[in-house]
C-alpha cells in the first residue's frame, strides 16, 4: 500500500531521464554520496538510480567494498 501511495507523490512524476541528471550537477567529490543517498529515498528511486550505469563511473575509493559496488553498477561504462 505504501509503495502504491508513493507512486502518486508529485516528485515521482519526474521522468527518470530528468531525475537521474541530479547527481551530474554536483561537485564530483560529493556526487558519490548523493547518488547513494538517492538510492535510499524509496524503492522506485533505488531501481532508477541503480539502473543507470553512467551514475556509477566516479569511483568511490572509500573502501574496497564500495569500489566494487561502483564497478558492478557502472557495467560497461568507462570508469
Position with higher pLDDT, 77 vs 17? 17
**What number of other Cβ atoms are within 10 A of residue 36's Cβ?**
15
Please count the residues of the chain: 79
Instruction: Place 70 in a pLDDT band, splitting at 50, 70 and 90.
Output: confident
Classify residue 15 as left (phi > 0), alpha (psi -120 to 50) or beta: beta
Q: Residue 79: what pLDDT?
A: 66
Res 46 pLDDT > 90 = yes
How is the chain split into domains, by residue range?
Answer: 2-74
Model confidence at 48, pLDDT cuts 50, 70, 90, reads very high
| Residue listed under C-alpha cell 561504462 | 77
Amino acid at each position: 500500500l505504501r509503495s502504491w501511495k508513493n507512486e502518486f507523490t508529485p516528485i515521482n512524476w519526474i521522468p527518470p531521464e530528468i531525475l537521474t541528471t541530479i547527481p551530474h550537477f554536483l561537485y564530483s567529490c560529493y556526487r558519490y554520496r548523493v547518488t547513494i543517498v538517492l538510492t535510499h529515498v524509496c524503492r522506485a528511486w533505488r531501481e532508477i538510480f541503480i539502473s543507470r550505469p553512467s551514475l556509477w563511473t566516479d569511483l568511490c575509493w572509500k573502501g574496497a567494498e564500495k569500489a566494487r559496488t561502483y564497478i558492478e553498477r557502472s557495467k560497461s561504462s568507462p570508469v
